[in-house]
Structure 1
Amino acid sequence: MTQRICRVVLDTDFGLGERFTAAWRERAQKGGLQSKLHYVAVVAQVPPAAQIADAQLRSLWPLNVPGLHRILLDDGRVTLDLLAGALDAVLPQIDARVDAFHVAAMPAPSATALARGLAKLAVQGASLRAEAPDEALVWALTAAGFSCQTIEGTRDVGAVYQSRRPQPAAPPEPVRRAIVIGAGLAGSSACQRLCANGWQVTLIERHAEPAQEASGNLAGIFMPLLSKDDNIPTRLSRAAYLFALREWQRLGGVGAAFDGQRCGVLQLARDAAHAKVQRDVVEAWNYPPEYARWLDAGAAGELLGAATPDGGWLFELGGWVRPSSLCEAMLLACGDHLFRVFCAEALDLRRADGEWQVRGRDGELVAQAPTVVLANGTGAVNVAQAAELPLAALRGQVTHLAAQDAPQLSLVVCREAYVTPPANGIVCAGATYDNDGDPSLRAASQLENLTRLAEIVPGDAVAALAASAPLAGRVGFRCAAPDRLPLAGALPDYPSAGRLERLRDVPRHPGLHCLLGYASRGLIWAPLMAELLVAQLENAPPPLEATLVEALDPGRFLLKQRRRSQ
């Protein structure tokens, strides 16, 4: 097995990326296919794209919003993580084994915390360069384990980290063979990211085609969440939405590599009180207008083509995608690294000789590998190891309207429901949230969708659809967790769990992982959750802050359960 070399750099003074660009070029000149560069850069705010010199980097440059922005370059051999925020706030959120540091001059009160934070991330022998540090920072670095000396001809200090404590051994190279169960958005994204990192993947799907269940709707909506307090769901959805846009661009683009449209999403306020909340949120966070902006009733009505009383949020970069076409595009990108096993159901997992054996209904061996990823929605609870996960199947009925009978919209519009622009002669409206398992179309659910549609787009013609439209659409079942956040990571071993205090105490099934609970936001969750899983499997820095990674940990429910009972 070829050993990969990945150099991890942390830069607290990114500027306009001159050092990153130099490191990127050096990797290209010397590295070869097995050499990777992972560059983590802290910025107070994201600089404007127009100031970024490199065209490839500029085309993927993120908007100036808080959080971690992962940019994949050179087919994933170079990763740039831009972490936007104050250094003292974001440094504890970084989880990485860093080989080299570049540190800007810091005021004395921050020196001790900074030095300790860097030492926590440093591998044995890590190098550090500090720009003209004051005496307090030099003393703090020395106390934290860095041996410092002035660099000749400069005021800068160079240092090497030599821990006084035994260092944990570097994690072993993973055996890059995996089985992914489920060919919807979760599973297809997992396959694409694993294969892009050189894994050989077997995809098991019980249907004859991908995206036949929750990912089978004609249109899925992509847009972020907003909130006044910038809570965890808001931060996660922001990171996921923007990462998905970058990844779809790398794949070839919405409407080009797969069906869809970046036509914008208008989220109308429910009433005057909600309109005030929407306006206050945008004013409080001062988002870039292409990310989110507030439209008053007049401007919103102009976009809608009909009067609306209270205005709403406009997400210019949002839109709709046909999930099945996206799944096919991602699976196609896997090339020879992917082996498809369709019309086969994975019902039994057994661990033997360091590998998982996946067996079907009659006990036959379907596939075998050291790593398994459950990405089959609520079907995961049919596997014994995942049976105790608190997942619910939420019924959603979407109504299909003939384009000539439906509102002619230029963008997606939503309030209590959503409606899409016409595509292939169909307008989609919906979707219901039901707590039953009825897979059939029913008139009551269609009436609910069309009643809500009439509230979004007023007018006699739309109101008449409730009585005149033929029963048409699709029923799917969303897989949802109690907190409505995804589950991404190693699967907890419920029977082996005793007293638990922290997530790291939760026992895990070796080599068994999951990507579940995407509910109605699978389009934006899928790319980032897959990237997070691959980072965990590759022992690489995650694409999210540590607090957000914890919020997604599949062990969080077991930990809460044990804490309540202890």
Structure 2
Amino acid sequence: MSSTDNVNNATTATIHWNPEGTPVATDYDDVYFSVDNGLAESRYVFIEQNQLSERWLNHPSPCYTIAETGFGTGLNFLATWQHYQQHLADNPNSAVKRLHFVSFEKHPLALKDLSQALKQWPELAEYSKQLIQFYPAIMTLGCHRITFHSPLPITLDLWIGDVHENMPEVPNTRSGLVDSWFLDGFAPSKNPDMWSQQLFNGMAKLSAANASVATFTAAGFVRRGLISAGFAAKRAKGFGRKREMLVGQFIGPKQPAELHQRLYHRVAIRPGESVAIIGAGIAGASLAYALVKRGVKVTIYDQACAAAAEASGNKQGAVYPLLSPNQPNVSEFFQHAFNYHRHLADQLEQQGYPLDQQRCGLLQLSYNQKAAQKNQNILDAAYPVELVHLVSSKQASSLAGVSLSNEALYYPLAGWVNPKQLVNTLLKVASLSGLLDIQYQQQLVAMNTTEHHVELTFKEGLQQHDNVVFCQSHSLLELEQAKHLPLTPVRGQVSHIDSNPKIGALTKVLCYEGYLTPASQQQHCIGASYVRNGVSKIMDEQEGLDNLQSLQNCQAQAWNQQLSFAKVAGRVAIRCAVRDHFPLLGALPDIENIYAPQYLQQWQQQTPPYYERCFIAVGFGSRGICSAPFATELLAAQLCGEAIPLKQSSLDSLHPHRFWNRRLIKNRPLELRYR
């Protein structure tokens, strides 16, 4: 059955099976692949007619991007993955070293239907097994990034929702993103809404120079639509009993950058360049992991003597999405960050590096009227029940293993992770590439850019790199070029509580004014204080007592009244927050020149000023454990000029220039400080 279609939830496909065992989309009355030989058709129409082997040999970039309309059973993706592996085996010096597959699907198959359909292709079992393993568990609308490592790396971006809504939201590059198109929706006669001039024009906007296109249909209006959009489309011999099909190449001119593209321009590094990262917390480690996967040489510098010395060094951190129905971009970003965090953990486990974590579920308690209204707003937004749903106080108590006074929102796939172990695992796996160097006890005091490199002055000496990404905490504000960034240091103290038989029965993470975790090594974490502009790292006895009191006030239960601090009573760290809950992700703004008269007079014709070769991934606040791995995957894709797995409208909300851009567009005076 289909789920209810709404703004936050995808409608899964309703299918049935014909006598030949082929899946048929009930709503479109069309098969997902050819009854004769779907795999052979996929190889002929899309792989052969797009001339992929020939194009991969001499492609100008190490990354090749294929885009597809209609993911269906994933047959085209799996066939392409298999073909790419064989191509590299036969051509080890091929120019293309990374394959990126972007697919649009309005009605994704349910996992059980996908599994049944792919049983027809045993020769693809090596690949379909992984697709089934990592297929999205929560079908939220937007882009789901899935990366596969075996037998060869390949990235799948599965865009769930109407292609006419999603395609304009795909972040583009100035030279175009897509190198080949698989135009493979249901037949035009069955699905006329998809085969539109709007679609063809959208394809043209995303196409790189000479991008190829192939489709099984030979319909005249499709050929004319492609030609009108800028493709040289022609008929070719069809597969099997089909007399003709269409092939083509993009020859149209690229459109000049519009105002929005200039204001939210994203900068890439040059091929072959290295990157220095300042900070070995969750952001720095995640970024290093994402970059070395792309073949980028990375050096991490940290002023501490080990990784995860700041907020990333806590024993337990809750992992769940921040949902804010009144701020759709916030919810969009955090839903996909949550999904990606789960996928990353699964990836690491597949590679033999399991994390210290529990996907035990999380209860967000309606502990007072304000919290109850907030929870109701989330409930009214109708997110997928696999993501979040309401439970009564009785159900919450049963789930948690302890008595609870209030109903709650239940996040069944949420839980906790050991942040310090996560950071060290990412660094360990990244180091295996041979592309990562880590240098501790390096305190940055100054930075200077030249035409060809960045000079980083540490107390211990001068270092030069092609590029730098700042991922540290509030210490970034001590840098002259970053002192006016809209960042606020926030002191947070987490308390460690010895477990006992009563509180030890807790099986879920509890969220209220603070949070409480199930026991790990006979201790619970209660947190955390939130002191804006606090930078002291000295443990405060009163803050620890306040953490306890917050739990007891929100849930006056016998199980939480006799609690004692552990021998190591807690931990203090300084987080960095941004007032709109988004991190700053992208090029480092040159704030002085934003206020310069020459820019203010011509801002509509210019790219906002930024420091060449300098980037930032900062301001994750108290949600960095969940959001930083996804955010740095976005940044790594940007730096390497690849597809970015987030809607453009949400990506704009992460842009470091966003506060100034918004005021310029609204013709409002600029403010120097946004904290």
Superposition TM-score, scaled by structure 1 size: 0.91
Which position in structure 2 is the counterpart of 1:483? 580
Which position in structure 1 is the counterpart of 2:571? 474
Which position in structure 1 is the counterpart of 2:108? 46
- SS of the equivalent of 1:349 reads strand
* 2:536 aligned partner, one-letter code: D
Distance apart, 1:171 and its partner CA:
8.2
Structure 1, residues 26-69: CA drift from partner, whole Å, max 9, x if none?
11000348522111101113322331441112111112111100
Q: In structure 1, what is the Cα distance between the partners aligned to 2:608 and 2:256?
A: 23
Which position in structure 1 is the counterpart of 2:156? 80
Structure 1, residues 236-280: CA drift from partner, whole Å, max 9, x if none?
000001111111111127996332222211111234675466356
Q: In structure 2, what is the Cα distance between the partners aligned to 1:174 and 1:565?
A: 39
Which position in structure 1 is the counterpart of 2:213? 128
Higher mean alpha-carbon deviation, 201-210 vs 264-273, is at: 264-273
Distance apart, 1:319 and its partner CA:
1.2
Does 1:115 pair with 2:200? yes
2:523 aligns with one of 426, 431, 435: 426
Which position in structure 1 is the counterpart of 2:36? none
Query: Quick one: structure 1 residues 165 and 532, their matched pair in 2 at CA, closer, same or farther if it must change by over 3 Å?
Result: closer
Does 1:20 pair with 2:20? no
- SS of the equivalent of 1:189 reads helix
Higher mean alpha-carbon deviation, 207-216 vs 550-559, is at: 550-559
Q: In structure 1, what is the Cα distance between the partners aligned to 2:318 and 2:350?
A: 16
Matches within 5 A, 1:191-206: 191-206=288-303
Q: In structure 1, what is the Cα distance between the partners aligned to 2:109 and 2:373?
A: 30
Which position in structure 1 is the counterpart of 2:455? 357
Which position in structure 2 is the counterpart of 1:371? 467
1:443–1:471 contact (8 Å) kept in structure 2: no
Which position in structure 1 is the counterpart of 2:247? 158
Distance apart, 1:25 and its partner CA:
0.8
1:442–1:471 contact (8 Å) kept in structure 2: no
- SS of the equivalent of 2:635 reads helix
Structure 1, residues 181-237: CA drift from partner, whole Å, max 9, x if none?
001111111111112221221110101011111212111110112344571111100
Does 1:71 pair with 2:146? yes
Distance apart, 1:455 and its partner CA:
3.6
Q: In structure 1, what is the Cα distance between the partners aligned to 2:221 and 2:97?
A: 37
* 1:157 aligned partner, one-letter code: L
Query: Quick one: structure 1 residues 251 and 557, their matched pair in 2 at CA, closer, same or farther if it must change by over 3 Å?
Result: same
Distance apart, 1:7 and its partner CA:
2.1
Query: Quick one: structure 1 residues 495 and 13, their matched pair in 2 at CA, closer, same or farther if it must change by over 3 Å?
Result: same
Structure 1, residues 88-125: CA drift from partner, whole Å, max 9, x if none?
11010113411111223363796222121111111222
- SS of the equivalent of 1:514 reads strand
Which position in structure 2 is the counterpart of 1:29? 86
* 1:423 aligned partner, one-letter code: S
Query: Quick one: structure 1 residues 487 and 405, their matched pair in 2 at CA, closer, same or farther if it must change by over 3 Å?
Result: farther
Matches within 5 A, 1:506-545: 506-545=608-647
Which position in structure 2 is the counterpart of 1:184? 281
Q: In structure 2, what is the Cα distance between the partners aligned to 1:494 and 1:423?
A: 45
* 1:177 aligned partner, one-letter code: S
- SS of the equivalent of 1:233 reads helix
- SS of the equivalent of 1:521 reads helix
Matches within 5 A, 1:430-449: 430-435=527-532, 436-449=534-547
* 2:111 aligned partner, one-letter code: A
* 2:130 aligned partner, one-letter code: Q
Q: In structure 1, what is the Cα distance between the partners aligned to 2:379 and 2:234?
A: 48
Does 1:89 pair with 2:162? no
Query: Quick one: structure 1 residues 496 and 224, their matched pair in 2 at CA, closer, same or farther if it must change by over 3 Å?
Result: same
1:302 aligns with one of 387, 398, 407: 398
Query: Quick one: structure 1 residues 333 and 146, their matched pair in 2 at CA, closer, same or farther if it must change by over 3 Å?
Result: same
Q: In structure 1, what is the Cα distance between the partners aligned to 2:268 and 2:488?
A: 35
- SS of the equivalent of 2:573 reads strand
* 2:100 aligned partner, one-letter code: H
Paired-residue identity, %: 27
2:268–2:640 contact (8 Å) kept in structure 1: no
Distance apart, 1:464 and its partner CA:
4.6
* 1:417 aligned partner, one-letter code: G
Which position in structure 2 is the counterpart of 1:345? 443
Structure 1, residues 291-316: CA drift from partner, whole Å, max 9, x if none?
22221121011123344343112222
Which position in structure 2 is the counterpart of 1:209? 306
Distance apart, 1:330 and its partner CA:
0.7
2:140–2:160 contact (8 Å) kept in structure 1: yes
Q: In structure 1, what is the Cα distance between the partners aligned to 2:591 and 2:277?
A: 22
- SS of the equivalent of 1:552 reads coil
2:345–2:355 contact (8 Å) kept in structure 1: no
Structure 1, unmatched stretches of 5+, are none
Q: In structure 1, what is the Cα distance between the partners aligned to 2:352 and 2:404?
A: 29
1:275–1:310 contact (8 Å) kept in structure 2: no
Distance apart, 1:165 and its partner CA:
5.9
Matches within 5 A, 1:441-460: 441-460=539-558
Which position in structure 1 is the counterpart of 2:182? 102
Query: Quick one: structure 1 residues 397 and 173, their matched pair in 2 at CA, closer, same or farther if it must change by over 3 Å?
Result: closer
Q: In structure 2, what is the Cα distance between the partners aligned to 1:123 and 1:314?
A: 44
Structure 2, unmatched stretches of 5+, are 1-58, 119-127, 258-266, 671-675
Structure 1, residues 489-528: CA drift from partner, whole Å, max 9, x if none?
1111222332275797212211111110010111111111
User: How many residues of Structure 1 are paired with residues of Structure 2 in the alignment?
Assistant: 560
Which position in structure 1 is the counterpart of 2:131? 57
Which position in structure 2 is the counterpart of 1:322? 418
Q: In structure 2, what is the Cα distance between the partners aligned to 1:492 and 1:413?
A: 39
* 2:449 aligned partner, one-letter code: R
2:577–2:621 contact (8 Å) kept in structure 1: yes
Distance apart, 1:288 and its partner CA:
4.0
Q: In structure 1, what is the Cα distance between the partners aligned to 2:429 and 2:605?
A: 35
- SS of the equivalent of 2:226 reads helix
- SS of the equivalent of 1:156 reads strand
Query: Quick one: structure 1 residues 38 and 102, their matched pair in 2 at CA, closer, same or farther if it must change by over 3 Å?
Result: same
* 1:242 aligned partner, one-letter code: N
Higher mean alpha-carbon deviation, 175-184 vs 303-312, is at: 303-312
